[in-house]
Structure 1
Amino acid sequence: MTGKVALVTGGGRGIGAAIVTRFAEAGASVVAANRTVDVAEELAASLKARDLKVEAVPFEHLDREGLHGLVDHVANQHERLDILVHNAGGCLWASLEELDQHQLDQVLSLNLKAAIWLTQAAVPHMRHSRGGRILVTSSVSARVAMGGGAHYSAAKAGVNAFLRGAAFELAREGITVNGVEAGFIAKPGRGTMSHPDNMRRIGHFVPIGHMGEADDIAFAMLYLASEQAKYVTGQTIVVDGGSTLPETGFAVERQWRSI
């Protein structure tokens, strides 16, 4: 990726930090955009100490104008934009009956609408460079259900559909559009899901036997951003340790008892 410029949203912690690190190690100049910019600045400083090219910028606005401004700033500063990764995402969990307007708007804006506006903003710059890679961190929630996350599943399913439509429109421009559907990924120190006891409990129901790591997503992104993936577009790679394979968690337990 030497000479390439990449913009990664949500690039301060967890999966985003892993993507930023692996892209920088591959030779790219990486801009980590994060809502808590000080966290991204700490990551950038640690990678710069290794002579890697990383900088941090704020990821503040989710509206069309703000996201276009972010992309244009990065592309103009570096005189090109080759790779866009919309990794920022999340969910304000709520049951369907308790879901309110704010929760729905936030989840749709961060996960789906931002992917659309960022892509729209990136296209002119990638066209100027005669090609590019647009990537989104999606989720297996796009295809399976989780209590309290119907709106999140809808947003991620929308992301997957958007990737296909955008890939079709941009294929002749040499711009590929793909995503990675993340399963249960451990983010140590963040949230209750990454508490050791919960990680063990969740890992018991994953066919591979444990939760994934941020690098599992980062390396899939690294492939999709590379020249080796130049003929791949409109696709998602599921990285979930086989979580979506069994019909139920009971099936996993039965499989393990038979070994």
Structure 2
Amino acid sequence: MGTQGFDLSGRVALVTGGGRGIGAAIATRFAEAGASVVIANRTLDVAEALAAELTARSLSVRAVPLTGLGRPELHEVVGNAASRAGRLDIVVHNAGGCPWASIDELDEDKLEQALSLNLKACFWLAQAATPIMRKQNFGRILVTSSVSARVAMAGGAHYSAAKAGVNAFVRGAAFEYARDGITVNGVEPGFITKDGGSMSKPEVANRLSQFIPVGHYGEADDIAFAMLYLASPEAKYTTGQTIIVDGGSTLPETGYAVEKQWGLS
């Protein structure tokens, strides 16, 4: 059996934004579970370095460029992923992010970037992949969403709106494809440790961790293992859902509730 008991042998998986962080962890765990993994990344050399590292471990991984987020580019990425084996079983849309800006500061470019990268790409990837998956009567469409879909952070209203749209996409697509052997699900990460970024600075992470019920940030593997379950045959009866993986950070009503519970100053 594969990683953590899940076996993806014979499956072909495409992971967008798979070069670093959560995407790299997903690609790694899928490959360890037996899948042939295609990493699509805007920074190709980063994806190629990861692919070389995993190939050296006798895992099946290759990198392809993610040249754009429009319908033609994403259809091309899907075709590229399916080209060698003639099949595509799992698509993970992990690429995401946005430029932070208050609503007053927001311009059309920043809003379009948030919507294209996080939300619109889901539609184009599904549109390209599902004809292949229907022929197989098996498919897994997975999306990295965010707890930002249900909570607010200053400067991130456009990101939250995009991720809320992602969650709605998951439900709508799951309903449309339910009779085709295709499931559609997502994972909503909370605070996850990553290289770089203001949120991962030790002084910031130490402060914010006090308000997470489990007391610390999560790791990329925490998301990857949730994705691994959703990608597996064992998840055949799970569709239209998002799994929140946030250490309980969305549970308390306010930060004060956490302070009161654990006597924090």
Q: What's the TM-score, normalizing by structure 1? A: 0.98
- Which residue does 2:165 correspond to in 1? 158
The aligned amino acid for 1:239 is V
* CA distance in structure 1 between the partners assigned to 2:91 and 2:162 by the alignment: 19
- Which residue does 2:259 correspond to in 1? 253
Secondary structure of the residue that 2:129 maps to in structure 1?
A: helix
2:141 to 134, 141, 145: 134
Q: What's the CA shift for 1:19?
A: 0.1
* CA distance in structure 1 between the partners assigned to 2:126 and 2:200 by the alignment: 31
- Which residue does 2:119 correspond to in 1? 112
Q: What's the CA shift for 1:74?
A: 1.2
- Which residue does 1:198 correspond to in 2? 204
1:99 to 103, 106, 114: 106
* CA distance in structure 2 between the partners assigned to 1:219 and 1:11 by the alignment: 15
Q: Does 1:212 align with 2:218?
A: yes
1:67 to 48, 66, 74: 74
- Greater Cα shift, 67-76 or 23-32: 67-76
* CA distance in structure 2 between the partners assigned to 1:159 and 1:63 by the alignment: 16
- Which residue does 1:224 correspond to in 2? 230
* CA distance in structure 2 between the partners assigned to 1:16 and 1:198 by the alignment: 23
CA distances 1:7-60 after superposition (whole Å, capped 9, x unpaired):
000000000000000000000000011111100111111111111111111111
Q: What's the CA shift for 1:78?
A: 2.2
2:84 to 72, 77, 91: 77
* CA distance in structure 2 between the partners assigned to 1:22 and 1:65 by the alignment: 29
- Which residue does 2:184 correspond to in 1? 177
* CA distance in structure 2 between the partners assigned to 1:24 and 1:217 by the alignment: 15
The aligned amino acid for 1:244 is T
- Which residue does 1:238 correspond to in 2? 244
Secondary structure of the residue that 2:100 maps to in structure 1?
A: coil
Secondary structure of the residue that 1:247 maps to in structure 2?
A: coil
The aligned amino acid for 2:211 is F
* CA distance in structure 2 between the partners assigned to 1:73 and 1:25 by the alignment: 22
Identity %: 72
The aligned amino acid for 2:192 is I
* CA distance in structure 1 between the partners assigned to 2:77 and 2:186 by the alignment: 21
| Runs (4+) off by over 4 Å | none
- Which residue does 1:27 correspond to in 2? 34
Secondary structure of the residue that 2:64 maps to in structure 1?
A: strand
Q: Does 1:5 align with 2:5?
A: no
* CA distance in structure 2 between the partners assigned to 1:122 and 1:214 by the alignment: 26
Instruction: Extract unaligned runs of 5+ from structure 2.
Output: 1-7
Q: What's the CA shift for 1:75?
A: 1.1
- Which residue does 2:65 correspond to in 1? 58
Secondary structure of the residue that 2:177 maps to in structure 1?
A: helix
Secondary structure of the residue that 2:238 maps to in structure 1?
A: coil
Q: How many residues align?
A: 257
- Which residue does 1:168 correspond to in 2? 175
Secondary structure of the residue that 2:13 maps to in structure 1?
A: strand
- Which residue does 2:4 correspond to in 1? none
The aligned amino acid for 1:178 is N
- Greater Cα shift, 64-73 or 23-32: 64-73
- Which residue does 2:5 correspond to in 1? none
* CA distance in structure 1 between the partners assigned to 2:57 and 2:80 by the alignment: 25
* CA distance in structure 1 between the partners assigned to 2:85 and 2:19 by the alignment: 20
Q: What's the CA shift for 1:77?
A: 2.4
Secondary structure of the residue that 2:92 maps to in structure 1?
A: strand
Secondary structure of the residue that 1:78 maps to in structure 2?
A: coil
Secondary structure of the residue that 1:186 maps to in structure 2?
A: coil
Q: What's the CA shift for 1:76?
A: 2.1
